[in-house]
Amino acid sequence: MDVFYTKLDAHIQSLNEKFRAKYLIKREMYEDIILVLRDGWGSPQFRFWVQKNFLLVKVGDLNMVYNNHKISRPVVVYEEVYAKLSECHNRVGHHGRDKTWHEVKSQYFWIPYDVVIIPSTY
């Protein structure tokens, strides 16, 4: 897991600076997205981006962020990416990158393809 996050951080640092912050959503930004959707908090530009892309779903006592498209899927934060990738890889029976990617994109939102191919580069 440490190797995965080391490679992931290196990949994020290799991106153009303006794309790094939103390449993967970290826990802090996830909480800010919840504040925008629940309370209308934040700058106008950030609120517009959040309201265009996300939806707040209350599951029991939890507020969960889903994508705001035809098929809503939960947003995965940076800190949970490895667990979700492992879960999808196991679910498809260890059948490789492409089947794992198909499972990831059908179940979750905001995990780029580049993140799925990182484990195959170890």
Q: Does one domain contain both 44 and 59?
A: yes
Question: How many distinct structural domains can be found in the chain?
Answer: 2
Phi-psi region of 22 (alpha: psi -120 to 50; beta: other; left: phi over 0): alpha
- 2: enclosing H helix or E strand: helix 2-14
Domain boundary at 54, 75, 96, which?
Answer: 75
Has residue 88 been placed in a domain?
A: yes
Give dist(CA 21, CA 42) in Å, integer.
16
Q: Does one domain contain both 60 and 102?
A: no
User: Terminus-to-terminus CA distance in the chain, angstroms?
Assistant: 11
For 31-42, the pLDDT digits (tens) are 999 999 999 989
Q: Does one domain contain both 62 and 81?
A: no
| pTM of the complete model | 0.90
Has residue 21 been placed in a domain?
A: no
Q: What is the largest CA-CA distance in the chain?
A: 45
Give dist(CA 55, CA 70) in Å, integer.
12
Q: Does one domain contain both 89 and 113?
A: yes
Residues of the chain with pLDDT under 70: 120-122
How does the average pLDDT of the chain come out, rounded? 93
Per the structure, the complete domain to which residue 41 belongs is given by: 26-75
